[in-house]
A and B are shown apart, each in its own frame.
Chain A
Amino acid sequence: MIALLTRDLRLAMRAGGGFGLGLSFFLIVVVLVPFGVGPETALLSKIAPGVLWVAALLACLLSLDRIFALDFEDGSLDLLATSPLPLEGVAAVKALAHWLTTGLPLVLAAPVLGLLMSLPASGFGPIVLSLLFGTPALSVIGAFGAALTVGIKRGGLLLSLLVLPLYMPTLIFGAEVARRGAEGQDYMTPLLMLAGISAATLALLPFASATVLRVNLR
Protein backbone atom coordinates (compact mmCIF):
# COMPACT_ATOMS: atom_id res chain seq x y z
CA MET A 1 0.00 0.00 0.00
CA ILE A 2 2.69 2.47 1.01
CA ALA A 3 4.68 1.33 -2.01
CA LEU A 4 1.72 2.17 -4.22
CA LEU A 5 1.37 5.57 -2.59
CA THR A 6 5.03 6.46 -3.02
CA ARG A 7 4.96 5.22 -6.59
CA ASP A 8 1.95 7.35 -7.46
CA LEU A 9 3.45 10.42 -5.81
CA ARG A 10 6.73 9.87 -7.63
CA LEU A 11 4.90 9.47 -10.92
CA ALA A 12 2.94 12.65 -10.33
CA MET A 13 6.11 14.59 -9.61
CA ARG A 14 8.04 13.29 -12.59
CA ALA A 15 5.29 13.56 -15.15
CA GLY A 16 4.66 17.15 -14.09
CA GLY A 17 0.94 16.63 -14.37
CA GLY A 18 0.26 16.44 -10.66
CA PHE A 19 1.26 19.33 -8.43
CA GLY A 20 1.82 21.93 -11.14
CA LEU A 21 -1.14 21.54 -13.39
CA GLY A 22 -4.00 21.58 -10.89
CA LEU A 23 -2.44 24.44 -8.98
CA SER A 24 -1.88 26.57 -12.09
CA PHE A 25 -5.43 25.91 -13.16
CA PHE A 26 -6.67 27.03 -9.74
CA LEU A 27 -4.65 30.22 -10.09
CA ILE A 28 -5.89 30.94 -13.62
CA VAL A 29 -9.56 30.45 -12.79
CA VAL A 30 -9.27 32.75 -9.79
CA VAL A 31 -7.44 35.37 -11.86
CA LEU A 32 -10.09 35.20 -14.59
CA VAL A 33 -12.95 36.02 -12.24
CA PRO A 34 -12.09 39.71 -11.63
CA PHE A 35 -11.81 40.17 -15.39
CA GLY A 36 -15.30 38.77 -15.70
CA VAL A 37 -17.04 40.65 -12.88
CA GLY A 38 -14.96 43.79 -12.61
CA PRO A 39 -12.30 44.93 -10.10
CA GLU A 40 -14.57 46.28 -7.34
CA THR A 41 -13.09 45.21 -4.04
CA ALA A 42 -16.42 45.02 -2.27
CA LEU A 43 -17.94 42.68 -4.84
CA LEU A 44 -14.81 40.52 -5.06
CA SER A 45 -14.55 40.09 -1.32
CA LYS A 46 -18.21 39.07 -1.21
CA ILE A 47 -17.87 36.36 -3.84
CA ALA A 48 -14.34 35.30 -2.89
CA PRO A 49 -15.25 32.21 -0.80
CA GLY A 50 -17.52 30.81 -3.50
CA VAL A 51 -15.10 31.52 -6.31
CA LEU A 52 -12.26 29.88 -4.43
CA TRP A 53 -14.38 26.79 -3.80
CA VAL A 54 -15.64 26.43 -7.35
CA ALA A 55 -12.13 26.97 -8.70
CA ALA A 56 -10.72 24.35 -6.32
CA LEU A 57 -13.41 21.94 -7.41
CA LEU A 58 -12.63 22.44 -11.09
CA ALA A 59 -8.90 22.12 -10.47
CA CYS A 60 -9.60 18.84 -8.70
CA LEU A 61 -11.71 17.64 -11.62
CA LEU A 62 -8.94 18.32 -14.10
CA SER A 63 -6.66 15.52 -12.98
CA LEU A 64 -9.28 12.92 -12.06
CA ASP A 65 -9.09 10.86 -15.24
CA ARG A 66 -5.42 10.17 -14.56
CA ILE A 67 -6.20 8.30 -11.34
CA PHE A 68 -6.92 4.99 -13.05
CA ALA A 69 -6.73 5.56 -16.82
CA LEU A 70 -2.92 5.45 -17.09
CA ASP A 71 -2.68 2.28 -15.04
CA PHE A 72 -5.50 0.78 -17.07
CA GLU A 73 -3.80 1.48 -20.38
CA ASP A 74 -0.40 0.09 -19.52
CA GLY A 75 -1.75 -3.03 -17.85
CA SER A 76 -0.74 -2.07 -14.30
CA LEU A 77 -4.34 -2.26 -13.17
CA ASP A 78 -4.63 -5.88 -14.32
CA LEU A 79 -1.58 -6.73 -12.32
CA LEU A 80 -2.72 -4.74 -9.31
CA ALA A 81 -6.03 -6.59 -9.41
CA THR A 82 -4.23 -9.93 -9.34
CA SER A 83 -1.77 -8.78 -6.66
CA PRO A 84 -2.23 -9.43 -2.95
CA LEU A 85 -3.38 -5.84 -2.44
CA PRO A 86 -7.16 -5.61 -2.06
CA LEU A 87 -8.65 -3.53 -4.84
CA GLU A 88 -10.56 -1.47 -2.27
CA GLY A 89 -7.24 -0.51 -0.76
CA VAL A 90 -5.84 0.32 -4.17
CA ALA A 91 -8.80 2.61 -4.83
CA ALA A 92 -8.40 4.33 -1.46
CA VAL A 93 -4.64 4.78 -1.84
CA LYS A 94 -5.05 6.18 -5.35
CA ALA A 95 -7.59 8.68 -4.05
CA LEU A 96 -5.18 9.61 -1.27
CA ALA A 97 -2.38 10.12 -3.77
CA HIS A 98 -4.68 12.32 -5.82
CA TRP A 99 -5.50 14.36 -2.75
CA LEU A 100 -1.85 14.77 -1.80
CA THR A 101 -0.92 15.92 -5.29
CA THR A 102 -3.98 18.05 -6.03
CA GLY A 103 -6.10 18.75 -2.96
CA LEU A 104 -3.39 19.56 -0.45
CA PRO A 105 -1.58 22.10 -2.70
CA LEU A 106 -4.93 23.80 -3.25
CA VAL A 107 -5.46 24.07 0.49
CA LEU A 108 -2.04 25.62 0.91
CA ALA A 109 -2.44 28.01 -2.02
CA ALA A 110 -5.92 29.17 -1.06
CA PRO A 111 -4.82 31.96 1.36
CA VAL A 112 -2.59 33.53 -1.30
CA LEU A 113 -5.41 33.50 -3.82
CA GLY A 114 -7.71 34.78 -1.10
CA LEU A 115 -5.49 37.90 -1.00
CA LEU A 116 -6.00 38.35 -4.76
CA MET A 117 -9.74 38.12 -4.26
CA SER A 118 -9.64 40.57 -1.29
CA LEU A 119 -11.05 37.99 1.05
CA PRO A 120 -11.87 39.56 4.45
CA ALA A 121 -9.32 38.79 7.16
CA SER A 122 -11.79 36.68 9.11
CA GLY A 123 -12.27 34.44 6.05
CA PHE A 124 -8.75 33.03 5.74
CA GLY A 125 -9.02 30.49 8.53
CA PRO A 126 -12.41 29.13 7.40
CA ILE A 127 -11.44 28.84 3.71
CA VAL A 128 -8.34 26.82 4.59
CA LEU A 129 -10.28 24.72 7.09
CA SER A 130 -13.15 24.06 4.70
CA LEU A 131 -10.82 23.08 1.86
CA LEU A 132 -8.81 20.90 4.22
CA PHE A 133 -11.92 19.00 5.28
CA GLY A 134 -13.66 19.11 1.91
CA THR A 135 -11.03 18.25 -0.69
CA PRO A 136 -10.54 14.65 0.54
CA ALA A 137 -14.19 14.03 -0.32
CA LEU A 138 -13.60 15.54 -3.76
CA SER A 139 -10.72 13.14 -4.38
CA VAL A 140 -12.57 10.06 -3.17
CA ILE A 141 -15.74 10.85 -5.12
CA GLY A 142 -13.59 11.66 -8.13
CA ALA A 143 -11.80 8.33 -7.84
CA PHE A 144 -15.18 6.62 -7.97
CA GLY A 145 -16.05 8.53 -11.14
CA ALA A 146 -12.66 7.70 -12.62
CA ALA A 147 -13.22 4.03 -11.84
CA LEU A 148 -16.60 4.16 -13.57
CA THR A 149 -15.21 5.61 -16.77
CA VAL A 150 -11.85 3.86 -16.86
CA GLY A 151 -12.75 1.61 -19.78
CA ILE A 152 -14.19 4.38 -21.92
CA LYS A 153 -11.99 6.05 -24.48
CA ARG A 154 -12.04 9.84 -24.19
CA GLY A 155 -14.16 9.51 -21.07
CA GLY A 156 -13.03 12.86 -19.67
CA LEU A 157 -16.20 14.73 -20.50
CA LEU A 158 -18.42 11.92 -19.28
CA LEU A 159 -16.38 11.81 -16.09
CA SER A 160 -17.15 15.47 -15.45
CA LEU A 161 -20.82 14.92 -16.12
CA LEU A 162 -20.95 12.04 -13.65
CA VAL A 163 -18.79 13.53 -10.92
CA LEU A 164 -20.04 17.13 -10.77
CA PRO A 165 -23.56 16.29 -9.49
CA LEU A 166 -21.93 14.10 -6.85
CA TYR A 167 -19.78 17.07 -5.81
CA MET A 168 -22.75 19.25 -4.99
CA PRO A 169 -23.23 18.51 -1.28
CA THR A 170 -19.52 18.93 -0.64
CA LEU A 171 -19.48 22.22 -2.53
CA ILE A 172 -22.55 23.53 -0.74
CA PHE A 173 -21.25 22.84 2.75
CA GLY A 174 -17.68 23.82 1.92
CA ALA A 175 -18.62 27.15 0.39
CA GLU A 176 -21.05 27.75 3.26
CA VAL A 177 -18.25 27.36 5.80
CA ALA A 178 -16.08 29.78 3.85
CA ARG A 179 -18.89 32.27 3.34
CA ARG A 180 -20.03 32.27 6.95
CA GLY A 181 -16.43 32.56 8.05
CA ALA A 182 -15.84 35.55 5.80
CA GLU A 183 -18.97 37.22 7.16
CA GLY A 184 -17.88 36.54 10.69
CA GLN A 185 -20.71 34.13 11.51
CA ASP A 186 -20.52 30.82 13.27
CA TYR A 187 -19.52 28.11 10.82
CA MET A 188 -19.34 25.06 13.06
CA THR A 189 -22.48 23.32 11.71
CA PRO A 190 -21.55 23.26 8.02
CA LEU A 191 -17.96 22.42 8.93
CA LEU A 192 -19.12 19.37 10.84
CA MET A 193 -21.39 18.37 7.97
CA LEU A 194 -18.48 18.75 5.57
CA ALA A 195 -16.21 16.64 7.75
CA GLY A 196 -19.00 14.09 7.99
CA ILE A 197 -19.30 13.86 4.22
CA SER A 198 -15.56 13.45 3.87
CA ALA A 199 -15.41 10.75 6.52
CA ALA A 200 -18.38 8.84 5.10
CA THR A 201 -17.18 8.94 1.49
CA LEU A 202 -13.71 7.94 2.61
CA ALA A 203 -15.13 4.95 4.46
CA LEU A 204 -17.65 3.74 1.88
CA LEU A 205 -16.84 4.88 -1.64
CA PRO A 206 -13.61 2.85 -2.08
CA PHE A 207 -15.82 -0.26 -1.97
CA ALA A 208 -17.99 1.10 -4.77
CA SER A 209 -14.87 2.09 -6.71
CA ALA A 210 -13.40 -1.39 -6.36
CA THR A 211 -16.68 -2.96 -7.50
CA VAL A 212 -16.84 -0.92 -10.68
CA LEU A 213 -13.12 -1.44 -11.32
CA ARG A 214 -13.66 -5.20 -11.24
CA VAL A 215 -16.53 -4.83 -13.67
CA ASN A 216 -14.40 -2.69 -15.96
CA LEU A 217 -11.50 -5.14 -15.91
CA ARG A 218 -13.72 -8.03 -16.99
Chain B
Amino acid sequence: MASFWEYANPLKFMRTTERIFPFVTWAAVVCFLGGLIWGFFFTPDDYRQGSTVKIFYIHVPSAMMAINIWVMMLVTSLVWIVRRHHVSALAARAAAPVGAVMTLVALFTGAIWGQPMWGTWWAWDPRLTSFLILFLFYLGYMALWAAIDDDDTAADLTSVLCLVGSVFALLSRYAVNFWNQGLHQAASLSLDKEENVADVFWYPALVCIAGFVLLFVALVIIRTNTEIRARRMRALLARERQA
Protein backbone atom coordinates (compact mmCIF):
# COMPACT_ATOMS: atom_id res chain seq x y z
CA MET B 1 0.00 0.00 0.00
CA ALA B 2 1.32 3.36 -0.99
CA SER B 3 2.08 5.93 1.65
CA PHE B 4 -0.66 8.40 2.49
CA TRP B 5 1.76 11.25 1.85
CA GLU B 6 1.98 10.36 -1.82
CA TYR B 7 -1.26 12.25 -2.23
CA ALA B 8 0.62 15.38 -1.26
CA ASN B 9 1.81 15.42 -4.85
CA PRO B 10 -0.65 17.68 -6.68
CA LEU B 11 -0.76 15.55 -9.83
CA LYS B 12 -1.35 12.36 -7.93
CA PHE B 13 -3.95 14.08 -5.79
CA MET B 14 -5.77 15.42 -8.82
CA ARG B 15 -5.70 12.13 -10.67
CA THR B 16 -7.03 10.15 -7.72
CA THR B 17 -9.64 12.62 -6.59
CA GLU B 18 -10.99 13.13 -10.08
CA ARG B 19 -11.54 9.41 -10.30
CA ILE B 20 -13.51 9.22 -7.06
CA PHE B 21 -15.27 12.56 -7.51
CA PRO B 22 -18.33 11.23 -9.44
CA PHE B 23 -18.95 8.52 -6.84
CA VAL B 24 -18.76 10.97 -3.98
CA THR B 25 -21.09 13.38 -5.75
CA TRP B 26 -23.71 10.76 -6.51
CA ALA B 27 -23.47 9.31 -3.04
CA ALA B 28 -24.04 12.81 -1.65
CA VAL B 29 -27.10 13.31 -3.86
CA VAL B 30 -28.54 9.95 -2.85
CA CYS B 31 -27.96 10.53 0.85
CA PHE B 32 -29.42 14.02 0.66
CA LEU B 33 -32.54 13.01 -1.18
CA GLY B 34 -32.95 9.84 0.85
CA GLY B 35 -32.34 11.45 4.22
CA LEU B 36 -34.50 14.51 3.60
CA ILE B 37 -37.41 12.62 2.05
CA TRP B 38 -37.28 10.05 4.83
CA GLY B 39 -37.03 12.73 7.45
CA PHE B 40 -39.68 15.04 6.04
CA PHE B 41 -42.36 12.59 4.99
CA PHE B 42 -41.85 9.33 6.82
CA THR B 43 -41.24 10.36 10.40
CA PRO B 44 -43.91 11.40 12.87
CA ASP B 45 -44.20 14.99 14.09
CA ASP B 46 -42.70 15.76 17.44
CA TYR B 47 -45.37 15.74 20.14
CA ARG B 48 -44.28 19.14 21.44
CA GLN B 49 -42.73 20.92 18.47
CA GLY B 50 -44.98 19.66 15.69
CA SER B 51 -43.61 19.57 12.18
CA THR B 52 -41.15 22.44 12.83
CA VAL B 53 -38.80 19.88 14.31
CA LYS B 54 -38.05 18.65 10.80
CA ILE B 55 -35.73 21.55 10.06
CA PHE B 56 -33.44 19.64 12.39
CA TYR B 57 -32.41 17.44 9.43
CA ILE B 58 -30.64 20.43 7.92
CA HIS B 59 -29.82 22.40 11.04
CA VAL B 60 -27.94 19.75 12.98
CA PRO B 61 -25.75 18.42 10.12
CA SER B 62 -24.80 21.92 8.95
CA ALA B 63 -23.92 22.94 12.50
CA MET B 64 -21.75 19.85 12.91
CA MET B 65 -20.05 20.55 9.60
CA ALA B 66 -19.43 24.19 10.50
CA ILE B 67 -17.29 23.10 13.45
CA ASN B 68 -15.71 20.04 11.85
CA ILE B 69 -14.64 21.97 8.76
CA TRP B 70 -12.74 24.37 10.98
CA VAL B 71 -11.07 21.40 12.66
CA MET B 72 -10.20 19.99 9.23
CA MET B 73 -8.66 23.36 8.29
CA LEU B 74 -6.69 23.31 11.52
CA VAL B 75 -5.31 19.85 10.70
CA THR B 76 -4.41 20.73 7.10
CA SER B 77 -2.81 23.98 8.28
CA LEU B 78 -0.69 22.00 10.72
CA VAL B 79 0.30 19.59 7.94
CA TRP B 80 1.35 22.55 5.82
CA ILE B 81 3.40 24.08 8.63
CA VAL B 82 5.11 20.82 9.54
CA ARG B 83 5.47 19.02 6.21
CA ARG B 84 5.06 21.86 3.68
CA HIS B 85 2.71 19.98 1.38
CA HIS B 86 1.09 22.51 -0.89
CA VAL B 87 -2.04 20.47 -1.45
CA SER B 88 -2.71 20.59 2.26
CA ALA B 89 -2.61 24.39 2.35
CA LEU B 90 -4.78 24.61 -0.74
CA ALA B 91 -7.30 22.19 0.76
CA ALA B 92 -7.60 24.42 3.82
CA ARG B 93 -8.17 27.37 1.51
CA ALA B 94 -10.76 25.40 -0.44
CA ALA B 95 -12.64 24.32 2.68
CA ALA B 96 -13.01 27.77 4.25
CA PRO B 97 -15.87 29.15 2.12
CA VAL B 98 -17.73 25.86 2.47
CA GLY B 99 -17.36 26.10 6.23
CA ALA B 100 -18.53 29.70 6.22
CA VAL B 101 -21.63 28.76 4.23
CA MET B 102 -22.35 25.84 6.57
CA THR B 103 -22.14 28.23 9.52
CA LEU B 104 -24.57 30.57 7.80
CA VAL B 105 -26.94 27.72 7.00
CA ALA B 106 -26.86 26.63 10.63
CA LEU B 107 -27.55 30.18 11.79
CA PHE B 108 -30.40 30.72 9.33
CA THR B 109 -32.14 27.40 9.91
CA GLY B 110 -31.66 28.01 13.61
CA ALA B 111 -33.39 31.38 13.29
CA ILE B 112 -36.25 29.85 11.34
CA TRP B 113 -36.59 27.12 13.92
CA GLY B 114 -36.21 29.49 16.83
CA GLN B 115 -38.99 31.82 15.72
CA PRO B 116 -41.91 29.42 16.37
CA MET B 117 -40.18 27.68 19.28
CA TRP B 118 -38.74 30.54 21.34
CA GLY B 119 -40.75 33.34 19.75
CA THR B 120 -37.64 35.10 18.54
CA TRP B 121 -35.40 34.95 15.49
CA TRP B 122 -32.31 35.63 17.43
CA ALA B 123 -31.20 35.49 21.03
CA TRP B 124 -27.76 36.08 22.49
CA ASP B 125 -27.62 32.50 23.56
CA PRO B 126 -24.14 30.95 23.99
CA ARG B 127 -24.52 28.48 21.11
CA LEU B 128 -25.91 31.05 18.71
CA THR B 129 -23.30 33.58 19.70
CA SER B 130 -20.49 31.06 19.34
CA PHE B 131 -21.60 30.29 15.82
CA LEU B 132 -21.69 33.95 14.96
CA ILE B 133 -18.14 34.28 16.28
CA LEU B 134 -17.10 31.21 14.30
CA PHE B 135 -18.53 32.84 11.20
CA LEU B 136 -16.41 35.94 11.86
CA PHE B 137 -13.33 33.73 12.14
CA TYR B 138 -14.13 32.19 8.76
CA LEU B 139 -14.53 35.66 7.28
CA GLY B 140 -11.19 36.85 8.63
CA TYR B 141 -9.45 33.71 7.41
CA MET B 142 -10.81 34.05 3.89
CA ALA B 143 -10.07 37.77 3.78
CA LEU B 144 -6.45 37.13 4.69
CA TRP B 145 -6.12 34.54 1.92
CA ALA B 146 -7.60 36.97 -0.56
CA ALA B 147 -5.39 39.87 0.48
CA ILE B 148 -1.98 38.31 -0.13
CA ASP B 149 -0.57 37.80 -3.60
CA ASP B 150 2.23 35.37 -2.92
CA ASP B 151 0.83 31.86 -2.51
CA ASP B 152 3.34 30.50 -0.03
CA THR B 153 3.25 33.61 2.12
CA ALA B 154 -0.54 33.47 2.16
CA ALA B 155 -0.46 29.80 3.12
CA ASP B 156 1.99 30.46 5.96
CA LEU B 157 0.11 33.42 7.36
CA THR B 158 -3.33 31.85 7.17
CA SER B 159 -2.02 28.67 8.80
CA VAL B 160 -0.72 30.62 11.77
CA LEU B 161 -3.98 32.56 11.89
CA CYS B 162 -5.92 29.30 11.86
CA LEU B 163 -3.84 27.97 14.76
CA VAL B 164 -4.13 31.10 16.86
CA GLY B 165 -7.75 31.52 15.81
CA SER B 166 -8.61 28.01 16.97
CA VAL B 167 -7.33 28.74 20.44
CA PHE B 168 -9.28 31.96 20.60
CA ALA B 169 -12.41 30.36 19.14
CA LEU B 170 -12.30 27.77 21.90
CA LEU B 171 -11.69 30.47 24.46
CA SER B 172 -14.62 32.45 23.08
CA ARG B 173 -16.83 29.40 23.44
CA TYR B 174 -16.11 29.19 27.16
CA ALA B 175 -16.25 32.94 27.60
CA VAL B 176 -19.65 33.05 25.95
CA ASN B 177 -20.92 30.23 28.16
CA PHE B 178 -19.78 32.17 31.15
CA TRP B 179 -21.36 35.34 29.84
CA ASN B 180 -24.87 34.07 29.30
CA GLN B 181 -26.51 30.80 30.19
CA GLY B 182 -28.73 30.07 27.26
CA LEU B 183 -32.07 28.69 26.21
CA HIS B 184 -30.76 26.40 23.44
CA GLN B 185 -31.44 22.75 24.11
CA ALA B 186 -28.49 20.47 24.78
CA ALA B 187 -26.80 18.80 21.83
CA SER B 188 -29.29 16.69 19.91
CA LEU B 189 -26.85 13.96 19.02
CA SER B 190 -24.09 12.45 21.02
CA LEU B 191 -22.35 9.13 21.23
CA ASP B 192 -23.83 8.62 24.64
CA LYS B 193 -27.00 6.87 23.49
CA GLU B 194 -29.24 7.74 26.41
CA GLU B 195 -29.37 11.43 25.67
CA ASN B 196 -30.21 10.91 22.03
CA VAL B 197 -33.41 11.66 20.26
CA ALA B 198 -35.58 8.69 19.43
CA ASP B 199 -34.45 6.24 16.79
CA VAL B 200 -37.15 7.24 14.31
CA PHE B 201 -35.53 10.67 14.05
CA TRP B 202 -32.04 9.40 14.55
CA TYR B 203 -31.65 7.20 11.43
CA PRO B 204 -32.77 9.72 8.81
CA ALA B 205 -30.63 12.32 10.61
CA LEU B 206 -27.62 10.03 10.25
CA VAL B 207 -28.26 9.73 6.52
CA CYS B 208 -28.49 13.51 6.26
CA ILE B 209 -25.23 13.91 8.13
CA ALA B 210 -23.60 11.46 5.73
CA GLY B 211 -25.03 13.53 2.88
CA PHE B 212 -23.52 16.72 4.27
CA VAL B 213 -20.12 15.07 4.79
CA LEU B 214 -20.14 13.69 1.24
CA LEU B 215 -21.22 17.04 -0.14
CA PHE B 216 -18.36 18.67 1.72
CA VAL B 217 -15.86 16.12 0.42
CA ALA B 218 -17.08 16.63 -3.14
CA LEU B 219 -16.89 20.42 -2.83
CA VAL B 220 -13.43 20.32 -1.30
CA ILE B 221 -12.18 17.98 -4.02
CA ILE B 222 -13.44 20.19 -6.80
CA ARG B 223 -12.31 23.41 -5.12
CA THR B 224 -8.88 22.03 -4.26
CA ASN B 225 -8.40 20.90 -7.83
CA THR B 226 -9.41 24.35 -9.01
CA GLU B 227 -6.92 25.92 -6.63
CA ILE B 228 -4.18 23.57 -7.83
CA ARG B 229 -4.90 24.45 -11.44
CA ALA B 230 -5.03 28.17 -10.69
CA ARG B 231 -1.78 27.90 -8.86
CA ARG B 232 -0.24 25.98 -11.71
CA MET B 233 -1.43 28.62 -14.13
CA ARG B 234 0.16 31.36 -12.06
CA ALA B 235 3.40 29.37 -11.93
CA LEU B 236 3.40 28.93 -15.70
CA LEU B 237 2.68 32.61 -16.28
CA ALA B 238 5.44 33.61 -13.90
CA ARG B 239 7.83 31.31 -15.67
CA GLU B 240 6.85 32.73 -19.04
CA ARG B 241 7.44 36.27 -17.85
CA GLN B 242 10.82 35.22 -16.62
CA ALA B 243 11.91 33.47 -19.80
Contacts and interface: CB of A to CB of B under 8 A. Distances in A.
Nearest to A194: B175
B160 interface: yes
A218 B151 CA distance: 13
Contacts, number: 73
Contacts of B163: 208
Interface in B200-222: none
A168 B175 contact: yes
Given A152-B148, A158-B144, A162-B140, A168 B133 contact: yes
B137 A176 contact: no
Contact of A148 (B157, B169, B175): B157
Contact of B156 (A193, A205, A212): A212
Interface of B: 133, 136-137, 139-140, 143-144, 147-148, 153, 156-157, 160-161, 163-165, 168-169, 171-172, 174-176, 178-179
Contacts of A218: 153
A216 B158 CA distance: 12
Given A152-B148, A165-B136, A165-B140, A205 B164 contact: yes
A211 B163 CA distance: 12
28 contacts: A144-B164, A148-B144, A148-B157, A148-B161, A151-B148, A155-B147, A158-B143, A161-B136, A161-B140, A161-B143, A162-B140, A162-B144, A165-B136, A165-B140, A165-B165, A166-B164, A166-B168, A168-B168, A168-B176, A169-B172, A172-B176, A176-B179, A205-B164, A208-B160, A208-B163, A208-B164, A212-B156, A212-B160
B25 to A, nearest CB: 33
A51 interface: no
The 10 closest A-B pairs by CB, nearest first: A172-B175, A169-B175, A165-B136, A169-B171, A215-B156, A162-B140, A168-B172, A166-B168, A172-B179, A161-B140
Nearest to A144: B164
A193 B139 CA distance: 27
Contacts of A173: 175, 178
A173 B174 CA distance: 10
Interface of A: 144, 148-149, 151-152, 155, 158, 161-162, 164-166, 168-169, 172-173, 176, 190, 193, 197, 205, 208, 211-212, 215-216, 218
B176 to A, nearest CB: 7
A215 B137 CA distance: 21
Nearest to A148: B157
B136 to A, nearest CB: 4
Nearest to A197: B171
A216 B178 contact: no
A215 B153 contact: yes
A198 B58 CA distance: 39
A212 B165 contact: no
Contact of A212 (B139, B140, B157): B157
A176 B168 contact: no
Contacts of A216: 153, 157
A165 B137 contact: yes
Contacts of A166: 164-165, 168
A194 B147 CA distance: 32
A193 B178 contact: yes
B156 A161 contact: no
B95 to A, nearest CB: 18
Given A193-B178, A212-B156, A216-B157, A161 B139 contact: yes
A173 B140 CA distance: 22
Contacts of A148: 144, 157, 160-161
A193 B147 CA distance: 34
A28 B4 CA distance: 58
